[in-house]
Structure 1
């Protein structure tokens, strides 16, 4: 770590006589398709919807080899709508990620800028990941779909005996209305991988965090009546996530548990979600996947079943079919599958056919 910090201080002196090689890569993804919802606020709906099975992105990444195991790197990435051309993340130029950093092969990497908090790593343990974001928590209270922090400093370690880890601190000042951390935020993780097994744990703690309370499907959140458009800025959002997966031949199984604690004006509530499922590679180009999810928040419960079929046309392009069904219970609770809208009843069904391309 001392070597990494020292390199940060010395590099400006060396830059005028830099001799290192550098590279810049253009990358991105585009996903689009048709979604059917049997109950979208009281009526059925068929709509074009993009960025569901993988959020659309266009970006640049680059690195420069400084010698002696040192390198600098950067990433600039924006999100966009394939159907309207609009920028994502509220219209930010590089709303998905924008950071620069320095790394040492034997120690790890230090990066600064707008970055995903470590909760995004739990995606690796989400069963049926290729089934898309319909399978995450209704309002993404546990941030598993991937959320960014502004003004963030992140350290990610190298791999030691199969273990990796990291810690992040995000300053709250000048975060703006489009940030997911109006106050300070802390995120940390540890992961282990060996052969076909991997596991990880993440802790994220955010002050003054905006949450989409109205999309949970609950009638009240933290003692407040909510509508589908209600957003609450909670005093504190603390997320603990633990996941594991195991791959053997054509089969893989995964489990993910998240515990999200919310605090607002002296009231607290906890959302607990358990996902269980796996994938079956019928052939190298054909994948079936499925999972069940159990979600408990205050007096509300949601039970969701997800099934996905994926056909790979090439290494970069695939077509897919996703099916999601949810049943809710609890006083005033309705079904509310992620990225749709709350149903008018305690059940909801979503189907989707789409195409995805990576470049």
Structure 2
């Protein structure tokens, strides 16, 4: 009996240590808000009117719940997985076009010396390394504060299916990685494939990132990556900002961003170049957009954060009658921390459009997460509550 007690005493810490390296975590976030929109389409298709609504998808974060787990395999290897569901709180519907785990769904292996390899539905490198530096992804900017219609995917409106992803370890604040999505089309390796690479650096007050994304046949592969998407109804065809370019055979994004903490202030800036190449409907022309953003966040008190940003998107002329629109957007917000898990916030976004859009008509304002305005102007105000669990 004494020998058995001694053996148990010796092995118990080992078992406990092994167990500490394995496990499954349930987590989630609920973000609900009341919104007032200055101009939105009516059901009869007449000129836009004011709209008031509850919305749980365009706040500081969209509502979600998920499971993530890991298991220590020994020898510096760890198996891991993550399943994350997005949902609409107000009606209980699945988010991301009806996908059960539309936000993320992957499994992989992490190696202590070499990094992490994962397989499944995942974020691209633009999201990983540059998107987090956008005002719309901060604790005062909502999804409406993303760049117009989230044209560069900085705000993670679109996921990459069938993706193989590598993420490096942290080397003195420097990280890098890449994503490759197999198109899965018989007889064509290139069709529907997606490729992205990026790197980031974080050291003290400085955070910076750069990334590149390329998607072949983007109307299907990237903008049409949700279950409910079709060639004529997806994130690319639903807005006049870019719907005229839905027949493009490739979509390219180059992005870079930086934030710098200076006392109680956080200064931010980012830039992206977006190109829709080989637009069949326009004689295989290309449409090019350049976007610049500058932002300032300030801790008024330890619990109160305020911020403001200006964003400018300029589109090139594709032909004499198509393209050449530009969109100026002002965003501001405040966030008050109630507890470590709960905060209250308010945000306001205002956009002005000029020129001709992708449809060849006079450009109309189209704030991300909102249906297009009937004129050049659009504003969205939101008061919300965010709770993490």
TM bracket, shorter-chain basis: 0.7 to 0.9
Q: Which residue number in structure 1 is paired with residue 213 of structure 2?
A: 204
Q: Which residue number in structure 2 is paired with residue 275 of structure 1?
A: 293
What's the CA shift string for 1:105-164, capped at 9, x where partnerless? 222000011111112122221135231110112222211111211111011111223211
**Matches of residues 10-159 of structure 1 in structure 2 within 5 Å?**
21-41=21-41, 42-53=48-59, 54-121=61-128, 122-127=130-135, 129-130=138-139, 131-146=141-156, 147-159=158-170
Q: 1:77 to 1:68 in 2, by over 3 A?
A: same
The answer to whether structure 1 residue 285 and structure 2 residue 303 are counterparts is yes
Q: 1:105 to 1:209 in 2, by over 3 A?
A: same
What's the CA shift string for 1:275-310, capped at 9, x where partnerless? 100211111211101100001113101111101011
Q: Which residue number in structure 2 is paired with residue 242 of structure 1?
A: 256
Q: Equivalents in 1 of 2:70, 2:243: separation in Å?
A: 48
Q: Equivalents in 1 of 2:34, 2:302: separation in Å?
A: 25
Q: Equivalents in 2 of 1:220, 1:78: separation in Å?
A: 28
Aligned residues: 327
Q: Which residue number in structure 2 is paired with residue 252 of structure 1?
A: 266
Q: CA RMSD in A?
A: 2.0
Please tell me whether the aligned partners of residues 192 and 199 of structure 1 are also in contact (alpha carbons under 8 angstroms): yes
Q: Which residue number in structure 1 is paired with residue 244 of structure 2?
A: 221
Q: Which residue number in structure 2 is paired with residue 13 of structure 1?
A: none
Please tell me whether the aligned partners of residues 138 and 215 of structure 1 are also in contact (alpha carbons under 8 angstroms): no
Please tell me whether the aligned partners of residues 120 and 145 of structure 1 are also in contact (alpha carbons under 8 angstroms): yes
Match of 2:218, SS state, is strand
Q: Which residue number in structure 1 is paired with residue 371 of structure 2?
A: 341
What's the CA shift string for 1:240-296, capped at 9, x where partnerless? 100011112211011111111102221210111111002111112111011000011
Q: Which residue number in structure 1 is paired with residue 328 of structure 2?
A: 303
Deviation at 1:216, TM superposition (A): 4.7
Q: Which moved more, 1:140-149 or 1:78-87?
A: 140-149
Please tell me whether the aligned partners of residues 236 and 242 of structure 2 are also in contact (alpha carbons under 8 angstroms): no
Match of 1:173, SS state, is coil
Q: 1:81 to 1:325 in 2, by over 3 A?
A: same
TM-score, normalised via structure 1 length: 0.86
Match of 1:283, SS state, is coil
Query: Please, which runs of 5 or more residues in structure 2 have no aligned partner?
Result: 1-17, 42-47, 224-234, 317-323, 357-361
Match of 2:148, SS state, is coil
Q: 1:219 to 1:242 in 2, by over 3 A?
A: closer
Q: 1:113 to 1:141 in 2, by over 3 A?
A: same
What's the CA shift string for 1:183-223, capped at 9, x where partnerless? 0110110111211101110101011112434555549734x
Q: 1:170 to 1:220 in 2, by over 3 A?
A: closer
Q: Equivalents in 2 of 1:74, 1:233: separation in Å?
A: 36
TM-score, normalised via structure 2 length: 0.80
Match of 1:139, SS state, is helix
Q: 1:40 to 1:182 in 2, by over 3 A?
A: farther
Please tell me whether the aligned partners of residues 127 and 253 of structure 1 are also in contact (alpha carbons under 8 angstroms): no
Q: Equivalents in 2 of 1:220, 1:330: separation in Å?
A: 16
Q: Equivalents in 2 of 1:323, 1:354: separation in Å?
A: 12
Match of 2:270, SS state, is strand
Query: Please, which runs of 5 or more residues in structure 1 have no aligned partner?
Result: 1-18, 176-180, 223-231
